[in-house]
Amino acid sequence: MPMTRRRFLKGGLAVAALGTMGATMPSVMVRSLYAANAAPGPALQGAPAGGPRTLVVLQLGGGNDGLNALPPFTSGAYHDLRPQLGLDESDGVAPIAEGLGLHPSLASLVPRWERGEMAIVQNVGYPEPDRSHFRSMAVWQTAQPAEAIEEGWIGRYLDFRAETGGDQWRAVGVDPGPSPAFRGGPFVPAVESIDGYTLQADPVYPRDQSSRLVAWQALHTAAGARTGSLPLLSRTGLEAFESMESLQAVAGDYAPMVAYPSGNPLAAALQTVAQLIDADLGTNIAYVTMGGFDTHAEEGDDHGPLLANVASGLNAFLDDLAAHGRLDQVAVMAFSEFGRRAGENGSGGTDHGKAGPVFLFGSGLNGGLYGEAPDLRNLDDGDLRYSVDFRSVYASVLEGWLGSESEPVLLGKFETLPIFRA
């Protein structure tokens, strides 16, 4: 049984024990100790009146090539490393700072950059980088580079903040299944589409639906007392039932105020997020994913369309939020499990790397560049040496945007960057 704050408090374990046990204690227990000491209250102060703040986490799976998403296009070293793939102003790179630009397919974000609604943390990574997609993604999702653990950083956040939040919609994954970043925490609804998040009736016998639903719940309740995976199925079924009822009660009023691009799954997912935010379910964190960034070959053909979907999806989403008067409630953080090798390979692509940029969007942040640009003349086995620990970005978001302590969530203290307005 996962230990939530409430369960822990009932247990009454002495906080003083942390001093001697901290190094060897399971992280779940460390988290609970922090939770027991946390002063409740200031957490939600400063949230805008329209509703609680929402963080949208956008996972770009496969390893987004940061050096071409954010090309140092005047650097000789960059073009030496990438004779074919290197981008220049003649390719349509949109300059945003001295010697630094956005990929041509991200150029539609420039007005947002100029309005100060976009921040870029350069050269983000973690100690002893791993070039495996799966290990590296797990590091970002658990916020634990040193050891493989089950629970995700958002799961820890949700448990830590359990007393301040509302119900099941405090976090949501707009995906067929919830991200591993939610593991270890409370139930988080996974929503593939809002229309689909319901139990359909037999159209021939609509009057039978209420007895079906009674039996449906009874079957799920009864399974809770059994063994194996049945308690998990029972609990999840009952949570799904309850969250379905609360969602369907409020989700009817939304209509998009902008045209979301078609044929862009990310845009569709973000529209679902906009609908959930508009429904005022108290959603603190929404998680969306997009894959396909593993550009080992013919990156020149493939990377642009991917980034174009990111830019057009985000622009529609942020414009829609603004039209609904919700833009000041939302921040977006886009990350990838790693960047790619500094030099191109022989297939017109790039192999797995070690560091890359994190992009943030919203009207509540201090737009601009954070962190140092990568040094292309001082590589580590052909890779960028990271200069900002990704947990510093998480800490900045947790403290600066969500108004939460970060230490209990990240299981350590990390420097924060002034990405968000005080």
Partner 1 sequence: MTTRRETGHLLRRAGFGARPSDFEDYAGLSWEAAVDRVLDYAVLPDALAATPTPTQQRPDSDELRLGAIDVIGWWLERIIVSERSFEEKLVFFWHDHFATAITKAPPPLMANQVVTLRRQALGNFRDLLVAVATDPAMLVYLDGNTNVVGNPNENYARELYELHTLGRGNYTESDIQETARALTGWGVDRRAQGSRFRTNRHDTGVKTIFGASGNFDLEDVADLIMAHPDFPTFMVAKLARYFVAPDVSDAYIIRLADEWVAADFELRPLLRAIFLSAEFRAGSYRALIKNPLEFTVSATRNLGATVAPRLVLFTAHTMGLIPLNPPTPAGWPAGAAWVNGNSVLARSNFANALMVASRERFRERGGDLPAVSFEPMEVLEARGATDAGSTVDAFADVLLDGEIDFHDREILIDYLGGGFVPDEAAVDEKGRGLVYLLLSSPAFALA
Chain residues in the site for partner 1 (CB under 8 A): 61-62, 131-135, 175-178, 187-192, 196-205, 208, 211-212, 214-216, 218-220, 222-223, 226, 228-230, 232-234, 236-237, 239-240, 243-244, 291-292, 294, 296-298, 345-349, 351-352, 381
Report helix angle 27-37 to 153-160, nearest 10.
30
Smaller CB separation from partner 1, 252 or 346: 346
CB 43 within 8 A of CB 164: yes
Smaller CB distance to partner 1: residue 110 or 297? 297
CB of residue 117 to partner 1, shortest distance in Å: 31
What is the smallest separation between the CB atom of 181 and partner 1, expressed in angstroms?
13
Tokens found for residue 66: 């940061």
79/100 Cα distance (integer angstroms): 13
Distance of closest approach, residue 223 Cβ to partner 1, in angstroms: 4
Residue 161 DSSP code = T
Min CB(116)–partner 1 separation in Å: 35
- Please state, in angstroms and rounded to a whole number, the distance separating the CA atoms of residues 412 and 405: 11
37 CB burial (10 A radius; 0-12, 13-18, 19+)? exposed
Q: Which is nearer to partner 1, 38 or 60 (CB)?
A: 60
- Which two structure tokens, joined as six digits, stand for 107? 């150029």
Strands (E), 312-394: 330-336, 356-361, 368-370, 388-389
Question: Which residue's CB is nearer to partner 1, number 92 or number 292?
Answer: 292
Smallest gap, in angstroms, from Cβ of residue 103 to partner 1?
21
Query: Please, which residues bridge with residue 332 across strands?
Result: 56, 361
Q: How far apart are CB 300 and partner 1 at their closest, in Å? A: 13
Q: Which residue stretches of 179-333 are H helix? A: 209-223, 230-250, 265-278, 299-323
Four-CA torsion 196, 197, 199, 205, nearest 10 degrees:
-40
Q: Looking at residue 61, what DSSP letter applies? A: T
Q: Which is nearer to partner 1, 108 or 246 (CB)?
A: 246
CB of 46 to partner 1, least distance (A): 31
C-alpha span between 71 and 95 (Å, rounded): 9
Nearest distance from residue 287's CB to partner 1, in Å?
Answer: 12
Indicate the residue among 36 and 216 with the shorter CB distance to partner 1: 216
The three-point CA angle 210-213-219 to 5° equals 145
- Name residue, tokens 């630009």: 101
Residue 42: strand, helix, or coil: helix
Helix (H, G, I), strand (E, B) or coil at 332: strand
Q: Which is nearer to partner 1, 115 or 212 (CB)?
A: 212
Which CB atom, from 173 or from 356, has the smaller least distance to partner 1?
173
Residues 6+ apart with CB under 8 A from 88: 73, 79
Q: CB of residue 342 vs partner 1: minimum separation in angstroms?
A: 15
CB 405 within 8 A of CB 59: no
CB of 353 to partner 1, least distance (A): 12
Q: Which C-beta is closer to partner 1: that of 278 or that of 302? A: 302
Residue 50 or 237 having the CB closest to partner 1: 237
Using the minimum distance from each CB to partner 1, give the nearer residue, 5 or 220.
220
As measured in angstroms, the least distance from the Cβ of 306 to partner 1 is: 12
Query: Judging by beta carbons within 10 Å of its beta carbon (0-12, 13-18, 19+), is residue 110 exposed, middle or buried?
Result: middle
- Between CA 149 and CA 156, with CA 154 as vertex, the angle to 5 degrees is 65
Sequence letter at residue 170: R
Q: Which of 269, 276, 390, 405 is nearest to 329 (CA)?
A: 276
